[in-house]
Structure 1
Amino acid sequence: MRLRPPPGALPVAIIAAGALLSSTAVAAPPEGKVEGALPRAAPTPRAGARTAGAVDQGIGGDPDATAATAAPKSDDAIEAQEDGAATAPPSPVTQRLQLATRPPPLHVEYAQYGVALAAEISLDAGAACPRSGPLYSCILGSGGGLAIRSGYRSPGPWYFGGAYQFTKMDSSNLYRLGIFQQLRAEMRYMPDIGYRAAPYFSAGIGGVVYGNEWGVETGGALIFGGVGVELEVSRRAVLGVSCVYRPVLLAGWKDTANYERATAIAQFVGFELLLEVRTELGRR
């Protein structure tokens, strides 16, 4: 005959055994509080195991950033990073050093003046020198002389000024000393190309007189336009060359040989070799 335990005896026995074990167990001391105990080294993560930071990244962070941190960089990625570092803007310290070694551009206005050796090459004297008849000998040929000018050079690309030029012309011995005088208003446009030698465009208008030995026997008006090159020798001195086309309207006159000269449109090409200096007026 098998005896059966009374109902509820098994749970009571389990509870009693648990109470006995808990009373006999010794509480483990907290980590790092036991005297003479050495700190435990952090466990080495196993291959393929995720760290807590990786878990946090996977839960609430950026998965792409986690993958980029965990995965090794390829050669292309390293080259792209180096290129980005090379094209990065300079630091404030580097910018200050650059400004200390490279002066800022000057915005200075000048009074500019000087002299030039001038040549007038006659293309056509017009009705002043007919191709046939008793007036065939041309009284207005080519010549050379001197020009004096002064003007204002703005901080930008513009120059405005005036010039006086006298030229001894070939008069086929009809004049002892034929002097062709000009008084001009002129301007130049000089684009800044970053070099000491810079091209410019010039234009202007003016009046002329012509006669024997500085006398005035005829007069008229002129216009001109041309190009040139200016070489900055220093901040205060420039050398240059220019070439202009100059049509001149001359009124009719009677020359010293008592020949009547008709009103003419003479055409010249002018060349100049100039030297000019500058005086600083102010800065902007």
Structure 2
Amino acid sequence: MRLRPPPGALAVATIAAGALLSSMAAAAPPDGDGEVEGALPSAAPGAALPAQDAEAVSAQPLPPVKPRVALAARPPPLHVEYAQYGVALAAEISLDAGAACPRSGPLYSCILGSGGGLAIRSGYRSPGPWYFGGAYQFTKMDSSNLYRLGIFQQLRAEMRYLPDIGYRAAPYFSAGIGGVIYGNEWGAETGGALIFGGVGVELEVSRRAVLGVSCVYRPVLLAGWKDTANYDRATAIAQFVGFELLLEVRTELGRR
């Protein structure tokens, strides 16, 4: 015998099923499987992201990088002032002795040729690019045997301009004025004045010692005189090129 459900039971079951489906639909999250909009899906540690998610990660902008502070190429200068002094091997190359050595006649033998000697100098080196000082130089000159020992002596006031280029070896410009005497065996048979200008290079071996070389052009005005052979020498403008190989040391005076 086939049993039939009681009247109204089918309607009650239909209503209960509809209510259950409605509650499940209300509890279900919107499309996106519970993910918050704009958030990336979480993955288990060590698991590879899907291709779409990897592209989304790579498309995100990287955080800004703070620029590094540029380091100075070299430390600032110390701004130290020095007393600077030293010696130099000197050479005087005669370009033209002028009227002191005429090219014909009984005075043809030149009493004032080239020579070599020693220079002694001292001065003040400022914290900037300037050097101011003085020098004494004596040079044994070629006198064509008219003098036993022809000594050419100079006393000069000098200046140098040394631009800061950031290297131990630095070029400089030099100039100055001074007085001269010339004669036999340290005598003073004639005298005059000189000016000069030139260039050089200074190598800083340490903070307290420098080596250098220089080349200057030096015109000299000499008064007329009578030499040891009783010849009258006319007033002359002699021209020289001077070379020096110098060694100088520094003593610190103070800092600014």
> Shared fold by TM > 0.5?
yes
**1:45–1:51 contact (8 Å) kept in structure 2:** no
Q: Whose strand fraction is larger, Structure 1's or Structure 2's?
A: 2
Matches within 5 A, 1:56-135: 73=59, 85=65, 88-90=67-69, 104-135=76-107
What does 1:261-272 correspond to in 2, within 5 Å?
A: 261-272=233-244
- Deviation (angstroms), 1:73: 3.9
RMSD: 2.8
- Separation of aligned partners in 2, 1:246 and 1:204: 10
**Are the equivalent residues in 2 in contact too, given 1:125–1:141 (CA < 8 A)?**
yes
How high is the TM-score relative to the length of structure 1?
A: 0.69
| In 2: Cα distance, 1:136 partner to 1:257 partner | 13
CA separation of 1:51/1:232 partners in 2, compared to 1, >3 Å: closer, same or farther?
A: same
Task: Assess, with a 3 A threshold, how the Cα gap between structure 1 residues 115 and 45 changes in structure 2: closer, same or farther.
Answer: farther
Alignment of 1:46 with 2:18, yes or no, is no
Identify unmatched segments of 5+ residues in structure 2: 1-26, 40-55
Secondary structure, counterpart of 1:258 in structure 2: coil
- Secondary structure at the aligned position of 2:87 is classed as strand
Match of 1:245 in 2: 217
Question: 2:85 and 2:251 mapped to 1: Cα distance?
Answer: 9
2:102 aligned counterpart, secondary structure: coil
Q: 1: CA distance between counterparts of 2:190 and 2:83? A: 33
Higher relative contact order (CA 8 A, sep 6+): 2
Distance 1:71 1:243, change over 3 A: same
Distance 1:165 1:71 in 2: 81
Percent identity, aligned pairs only?
Answer: 86
Residue in 1 that maps onto 2:22: none
| Partner amino acid, structure 2, of 1:253 | W
Aligned to 1:17: none
Structure 1: any 5+ residue segments left out of the alignment? Answer: 1-39, 54-69
Distance in 2, matches of 1:52 and 1:263, equals 101
* More helix per residue: 1
